[in-house]
Structure 1
């Protein structure tokens, strides 16, 4: 028991590092390209990469991602290591993942099936039984 107390006291004696590395400036967004914006996360001392939306992303999700990025930048302007800042970038990360999943679903969709959902009466969409 005494050894455990000594070990805990020794661990508590070391101060936690208080400095964060300065994040590199965000890359400029270009149309038709995926860009990455990185911000430090205090809890894990790592950088979080957030992908901007690509043209294949549904517009409603793309708008939400863009708005959440703006909101995260505003939230982190005063205190980039606050819990609110981390939560804002987590929200951006979740929305970016949702946009990515939406793009993946669109890639797997068959254009003929989409057409036939809207136009079942056309010749291309008729179903014949043997």
Structure 2
């Protein structure tokens, strides 16, 4: 009986509330039956940045009424996905070497020749 009482007297564990470092809207890591799907974005990085700004505004509006709702969590998930896509697009642009691009199209030119010892 003592072991049972100790278990029932223990404090309840609440699900954690996550806070974004940039925004003051809390949300929980659970969703309701309705979710929005986020697909890959095939746009230029500047266009992705515009979509990130739009999705942040949408998430703020969605979360203004009920910050713990599933719709709010889905809206912030969309922001996270678009932010990641924008970051990956910027990385791809940084890693692009103009000479490599040129040599893919023109492997026979003098600049693109490779010699083996």
Both structures adopt the same fold (TM-score exceeding 0.5)? yes
| CA-CA distance at 1:43 after TM superposition | 3.1
Matched, 1:89 2:90: no
Matched, 1:102 2:92: no
Structure 1 residues 38 and 102: CA distance shift in structure 2, 3 A: farther
Query: How many residue pairs were aligned?
Result: 97
From 104, 109, 113, the counterpart of 1:127: 109
Structure 1 residues 72-111: Cα deviation after superposition (integer angstroms, max 9, x where no partner) = 0110010011111011101101110111111111111113
Gaps of 5+ in 2: 31-43
**Distance between the aligned counterparts of 2:94 and 2:24, measured in 1?**
27
**Structure number with higher relative contact order (C-alpha < 8 Å, ≥ 6 residues apart):** 2
Structure 1 residues 127 and 80: CA distance shift in structure 2, 3 A: same
Q: What's the TM-score once normalised by structure 1's chain length? A: 0.53
Q: What's the TM-score once normalised by structure 2's chain length? A: 0.58
Task: Specify the SS of the correspondent of 2:25.
Answer: strand
- In the other structure, the counterpart of 2:27 is 41
More helix by share: 2
Gaps of 5+ in 1: 27-35, 45-56
CA RMSD, aligned part only? 3.9
| CA-CA distance at 1:15 after TM superposition | 4.0
**Distance between the aligned counterparts of 2:93 and 2:74, measured in 1?**
29
